[in-house]
């Protein structure tokens, strides 16, 4: 059933993954969002980055569900608003298990490199509405592929305590470093190496189409991240199914909210 105000979507109305509100995901409030300066943003990122683990904290063979996370923005009466959508799918069948939303006013200005401080409050509010507990989260954005290794996928992992992957549609240069284009074959990739360290990977998800940029968020390695994203692709889009569905939902919800 789908409820316009309850935000719970269960394709079969008897899906084994939905907990019917009995147990919610535990969210670690690793910091608050009453932060006003770039110096504070930077300090928090530096502190959290010390705890990044680019290794699997789980068995990939046990993945049952995967969540895609995306946001959409709009302006109204001179103020900025956003809506976040999380779409949870069955990792094997790719069927939608549930969709949850949050929305609200954005108070932080956009500062390159500090996107998480704008988006995480709405992401957390959406996660709190989940009736299932996804095994892994995929974000429309970067993770370790970031000047301080703290893209949205990595930053969010400390709140979610789940493996996360960042998948970006475009590349933001780090210290002037560019990337090498992979061959025009599905699954072809090139590592993004900066100062002898692998920050992420350029992946060809479709032929004759721009590549995508994969990076670990946390609690996962780059090989597993790549395998998971390749498993989440189909012919409809160059981006993985969960974030594509989340992207579509945010645009639908944005149009509804703009009319309120």
* Residue stretches of the annotated binding site for Mg(2+): 70, 140
Binding-site residue positions: 70, 140
Q: How far apart are CA 236 and CA 238, in angstroms?
A: 7
Collapsed DSSP state (helix, strand, coil) of residue 154: helix
Q: How far apart are CA 72 and CA 80, in angstroms?
A: 11
Structural tokens at position 91 = 């990792």
Residues ≥6 apart with Cβ < 8 Å to 250: 70, 71, 72, 83, 84, 85
Q: How far apart are CA 52 and CA 71, in angstroms?
A: 24
Collapsed DSSP state (helix, strand, coil) of residue 125: helix
């Amino acid at each position: 059933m789908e409820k316009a105000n309850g935000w719970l979507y269960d394709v079969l109305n008897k899906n084994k993954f939905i907990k019917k509100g009995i147990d919610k995901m535990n969210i670690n409030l690793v910091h608050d969002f009453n932060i006003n300066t770039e110096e504070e943003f930077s300090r928090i990122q530096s502190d959290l980055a010390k705890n990044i683990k680019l290794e699997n904290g789980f068995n990939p063979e046990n993945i049952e569900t995967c969540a895609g996370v995306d946001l959409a923005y709009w302006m109204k009466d001179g103020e900025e608003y956003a809506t976040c959508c999380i779409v949870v799918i069955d990792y094997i069948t790719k069927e939608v298990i549930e969709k949850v939303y949050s929305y609200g006013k954005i108070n932080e200005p956009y500062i390159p490199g500090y996107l998480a401080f704008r988006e995480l409050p709405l992401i957390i509010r959406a996660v709190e509405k989940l009736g299932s507990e996804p095994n892994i989260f995929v974000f429309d954005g970067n993770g370790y592929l970031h000047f301080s290794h703290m893209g949205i996928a990595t930053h969010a992992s400390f709140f979610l305590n789940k493996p996360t992957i960042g998948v970006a549609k475009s590349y933001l240069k780090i210290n002037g470093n560019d990337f090498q284009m992979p061959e025009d074959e599905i699954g072809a990739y090139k590592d993004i190496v900066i100062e002898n360290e692998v920050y992420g990977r350029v992946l060809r998800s479709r032929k004759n189409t721009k590549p995508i940029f994969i990076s670990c968020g946390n609690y996962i390695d780059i090989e597993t991240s790549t395998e998971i994203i390749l498993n989440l692709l189909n012919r409809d889009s160059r981006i993985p199914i969960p974030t594509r569905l989340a992207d579509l939902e945010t645009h639908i919800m944005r149009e509804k909210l703009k009319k309120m």
